[in-house]
Amino acid sequence: MQDWWRNSVTYQIYPRSFQDSSGNGIGDLPGITARLDHVASLGVDAIWLSPIFTSPMADMGYDVSNYTDIDPLFGTLADFDALVARAHALGLRVIVDQVISHSSDQHPFFVESRSSRDNPRADWYVWVDPLPDGTPPNNWVSVFGGSAWEWDARRRQYYLHNFLTSQPDFNFHNPDVQDWLLSTMRFWLDRGVDGFRLDTVNFYFHDQSLRSNPPDPRNTAAPKVNPYDMQDHLYSKNRPENLAFLERLRALTDEYEGRAMVGEVGESRRAGEIMAQYTAGNSRLHMAYSFDMLGPEFTADHFRQKIEGFYSAAPNGCPCWSFSNHDVIRHVTRWQDHGAPDALAKQAIAMLIGFEGSLCLYQGEELGQTETDILYSELTDPPGFKFWPDYKGRDGCRTPMVWDDSAQAGFTTGTPWLPIKAPQKARNVAGQDAEHATGSVLAAYRTALAFRKEIPALRYGKTRFANLPEPILGFWRDGLLCLYNLSPQPQQLHVTQGAALTGPHAAALSGAKLQLPANGFAFLTGATEVKPG
């Protein structure tokens, strides 16, 4: 199907933590291949592989030193080909993480670029002279803390890095850079990948005038941890020149049948506007991956605003909604004040299947997995070292998958690269997969995803919200009413007489009275009205 990606469900795999086949404690491609049956059993459409290309791993693969090879930690190109073949045999598409806004400082092109001011790739990265007082040219800051400019003694210039100093930004204003990056993506398309997850897709271009960013007007005080969000990033990212490059990316993927791109829009202030721009029409991104539901907010008003906001700006666009990924605290832990873990986990998948657009699940969330408490001595993540103890980094959501209750949870025969602790091990696949575990979170995910595939309204229906007070989120997808109690207290609603429950639910209907328990949810047919009561 040409538009398989529209309203699809993608399962994100963090390769280091999925399955180790070699015993070195780090997940790899053969391990992923061996576990794909589990992914297929969920009823998803595609897998997204976090970075697997050659890298010194300063940022766990988001610092690429070779864009057309597999890092030896994960395997070989032959292992990748075998993974793609097995995934396709199981009906799963394969999306790879494409990190092209920046490279590793060990990439041969950066090594060449920094060697002089007149080499063939001297302007492949963003280099600027210091101000007369020796300081950087503007106030741009790094996502990982400190200035976004790093002094290089060889060139006697600063280079731009929106992330680590070892992740220099490419200069997208140079057409040769664009051409070369597109050629590396063609390499993977020719190899059979079904698409790309474009990391930091709104970071590609910078303002050539190097204007300083203004303050974000929403800020009234210094942030608790990272000052990055004190700026309105008008000039360091989100540039209008990006749209033309997205059209070049789309033209490339359109040369291949059934390929798709989902772009990560890392932006706090105008994410909906940017997502709408980036998915408008048929010449830019297929989907935009939203950060809007990856925060602490857990209210009906919040979810409604984000969904309505996107579709009012891009009626024909396609968002990709997610509650967890490799960069944020797992949602069961993040929202723990709003319910018990299992109830929250089951409600989460019921909510996602109700949302208009495409969905993305993060490995382990189908188990109701919780955040791992990481000690300083166990840290590997650079921002964790930078901002400890107020921010403990991203390791807590990246700990290995738990397949069973054995010593290393079936993940490895060696010592895992991040610890597997008892609270996480308790939520293992084998335990939840057992015949007696029909009430497990894993069973709830399989049931919910199967229901979504069966009901056209959940895949293609337009959304119309019900005007209900907190903590109730309610909307129709065509004729199907979807209701969610976003609280740990029971709630009662009045629905149309004769309405009927359908599909998975945590609710009880008696006549026109619908009882929603703590974190309850319901899908109803024949309900043309709903009100408190």
3-class DSSP string for 95-161: EEEECCCECCCCCHHHHHHCCCCCCCCCCCECEECCCCCCCCCCCCECCCCCECEEEECCCCEEEEC
Instruction: Give the C-alpha separation, 83 to 95, whole Å.
Output: 12
Tokens coding 154: 């060889």
User: In one letter, which amino acid is 407?
Assistant: A
- Minimal CA–CA distance to 167: which of 139, 200, 134, 208? 200
pLDDT digits (tens, 9 = 90+) for 368-427: 999 999 999 999 999 999 999 989 999 999 999 999 999 999 999 999 999 999 999 999
- 272 confidence band (pLDDT: 50, 70, 90): confident
User: Sheet containing 127-128: which strands, arranged edge to edge?
Assistant: 127-128, 157-160, 149-152
Pick the more confident residue, 479 or 533: 479
The predicted model gives 459-472 an average pLDDT of 97
Q: In sequence order, what E strands does 417-498 have?
A: 463-465, 472-477, 480-485, 491-495
Find the DSSP H helices in 288-330. 300-313
Q: Is the pLDDT of residue 216 over 70?
A: yes
Provide the 3-class DSSP secondary structure of residue 293: coil
Q: Which pLDDT belongs to residue 435?
A: 64
Q: Give the gyration radius of the chain's Cα atoms.
A: 23
Where do the structural domains in the chain lie, given as residue ranges?
9-103+175-452, 462-532
Collapsed DSSP state (helix, strand, coil) of residue 43: coil
- What pLDDT, on a 0 to 100 scale, did the predictor assign at position 112? 98
Give the residue with greater pLDDT, 224 vs 77.
77
Which two structure tokens, joined as six digits, stand for 478? 């065509």
Cα-based distances in Å from 249 to 189, 245, 518: 12, 6, 45
**In 167-299, which residue ranges form alpha helices assigned H by DSSP?**
175-190, 242-254, 271-279
Mean pLDDT calculated for residue range 44-64: 98
User: Exposure of 116 by Cβ count < 10 A (0-12 exposed, 13-18 middle, 19+ buried)?
Assistant: exposed
Contact 298, 261 (CB under 8 A): no
Q: Are 512 and 497 in contact (CB under 8 A)?
A: yes
pLDDT in tens, 372-382: 999 999 999 99
Residue 44 has pLDDT above 80, yes or no: yes
Widest distance between CA atoms in the chain:
79
Task: Name 195's Cβ contacts closer than 8 Å, sequence gap at least 6.
Answer: 5, 46, 93, 95, 96, 253, 259, 260, 261, 262, 286
CATH class of 9-103+175-452: alpha beta
User: Which token pair is 482?
Assistant: 């979807």
Give percent helix, percent strand, percent coil of the chain, each to the nearest 5. Answer: 30, 20, 50
Q: Give 179's contacts (C-beta < 8 A, 6+ positions apart).
A: none
| Omega prior to 471 cis, within 30 of 0 | yes
Query: Which helix H or strand E contains 423, and what residues bound it?
Result: helix 422-425
255, 257, 337, 435: the active-site residue: 255
Residue 1 reports pLDDT greater than 60: no
Mean predicted confidence (pLDDT) in 42-55: 98
Return phi, psi of residue 501, to 5°.
Answer: -70, 145
Spatial separation of the C-alpha atoms in residues 348 and 484, rounded to whole Å: 10
pLDDT > 90 in the chain, percent? 93
For 142-156, how does the pLDDT look when each residue is reduced to its tens digit (9 = 90+)? 999 999 999 999 999
Does residue 264 surpass a pLDDT of 70?
A: yes
Judge if 9-103+175-452 and 462-532 fold alike in CATH terms: no
* Residue recorded with tokens 């709408």: 276
pLDDT at position 54 is: 98
Cβ-based neighbour number of residue 390 at 10 Å: 9
Domain 462-532 has CATH 2.60.40.1180: yes
Question: Is the pLDDT confidence value at 83 over 90?
Answer: yes
Q: What is the residue-averaged pLDDT of the chain?
A: 96
Nearest to 4 by CA among 72, 98, 91: 91
Instruction: Look up residue 216 and give its DSSP letter.
Output: P
d(CA 154, CA 476): 61
Q: What pLDDT sits at residue 436? A: 67
Please list, residue by residue across 364-377, b when 16 or more beta carbons sit within 10 angstroms of its beta carbon and e when fewer do: bbbbbbbbbebeee
Q: For 91-100, 221-230, 422-431, which range has the lowest pLDDT when averaged over its residues?
A: 221-230
120 cis-preceded (ω within 30 degrees of 0): no
SS3 category, 170: strand
Closest by Cα among 463, 468, 460, 478 to 528: 478
Burial class from Cβ neighbours inside 10 Å (0-12, 13-18, 19+) for residue 297 reads middle
pLDDT single digits (tens) 310-349: 999 889 899 999 999 999 999 999 999 999 999 999 999 9
What would the mean pLDDT of 502-509 be, rounded to a whole number? 98
Mean pLDDT of 344-356: 98
Q: Using CA atoms, how far apart are residues 533 and 526, in angstroms rounded to an integer?
A: 18
DSSP element (H, E) containing 440: none
Catalytic residue among 71, 150, 169, 199: 199
CA–CA distances in Å: residue 499 to residues 309, 493, 508: 30, 12, 12
pLDDT at 267: 79
Strands 358-362 and 463-465: unpaired
Secondary structure of residue 488 in the 3-state scheme: coil
Residue 255 annotated among the catalytic residues of the structure = yes
What's the whole-number mean pLDDT along residues 165-193? Answer: 98
112: exposed, middle or buried (C-beta count within 10 Å: 0-12, 13-18, 19+)?
middle
